[in-house]
């Protein structure tokens, strides 16, 4: 598959957009939402949205951060898997509902909100809501431009 448009190279407009989106990502990290939860949310939204580049990137990043391969492999089947905590299950339900607005007329249910609120404080909930919006933005940028998957390599820091 070839990309329709390389939105990340040579465009001053996209460079500005990505710079600001990266700042949003830093703000999310500062909320205290666990990194493992962030990775699961990114993977699940990317699966739902059919963003192969983001699935590739976030699964590789999760593995590089020390996530167990079994957990990464089971994200799409999280309801039937025994490897996720109750907090992670709440976040996974939340991301599914927050990503699939078009599938229902109700958006995120009160039940999904309450389940997430049982496990995450106010700042972490803000992080979760913002992360869902952010990953959906990245998914759409990459999927619409048809950015191919497979070549991503995690950046190792430290």
Residue 112 inside a domain? The answer is yes
Asked if 141 and 7 touch (Cβ cutoff 8 Å), the reply is: yes
Residue 5 inside a domain? The answer is no
Residue 55 inside a domain? The answer is yes
Residue 11 inside a domain? The answer is no
Residue 153 inside a domain? The answer is no
* Domain count across the chain: 1
Which CATH number characterizes residue 136's domain? 1.20.1290.10
pLDDT at position 118: 98
Residue 4 inside a domain? The answer is no
CA dist 98 and 61 (Å) reads 22
Residue 16 inside a domain? The answer is no
Closest by Cα among 121, 118, 100, 104 to 47: 100
Q: Taking 50 as the threshold, does the pLDDT of residue 158 lie above it? A: no
User: Using CB atoms within 10 A of its CB, is residue 95 exposed (0-12), middle (13-18) or buried (19+)?
Assistant: buried
pTM value surpassing 0.85: yes
Full domain range(s) for residue 63? 34-145
pLDDT tens per residue across span 99-114: 998 887 778 999 999 9
Asked if 43 and 61 touch (Cβ cutoff 8 Å), the reply is: no
pLDDT tens per residue across span 34-57: 999 999 999 999 999 999 999 999
Closest by Cα among 52, 47, 72 to 148: 52
Asked if 63 and 156 touch (Cβ cutoff 8 Å), the reply is: no
């Amino acid at each position: 598959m070839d990309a329709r448009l390389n939105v990340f190279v040579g465009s001053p407009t996209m460079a500005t957009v990505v710079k600001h989106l990266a700042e949003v990502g830093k703000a999310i990290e500062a909320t205290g939402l666990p990194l493992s939860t962030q990775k699961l949310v990114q993977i699940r939204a990317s699966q739902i949205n059919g963003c192969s580049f983001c699935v590739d990137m976030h699964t590789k990043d999760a593995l590089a951060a020390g996530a167990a391969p079994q957990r990464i492999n089971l994200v799409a089947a999280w309801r039937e898997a025994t490897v996720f905590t109750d907090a992670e299950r709440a976040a996974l339900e939340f991301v599914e509902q927050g990503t699939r607005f078009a599938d229902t007329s109700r958006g995120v249910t009160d039940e999904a909100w309450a389940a997430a609120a049982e496990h995450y404080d106010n700042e972490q909930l803000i992080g979760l809501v913002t992360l869902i919006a952010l990953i959906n933005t990245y998914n759409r940028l990459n999927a619409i431009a048809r950015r191919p998957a497979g070549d991503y390599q995690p950046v190792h820091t430290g």
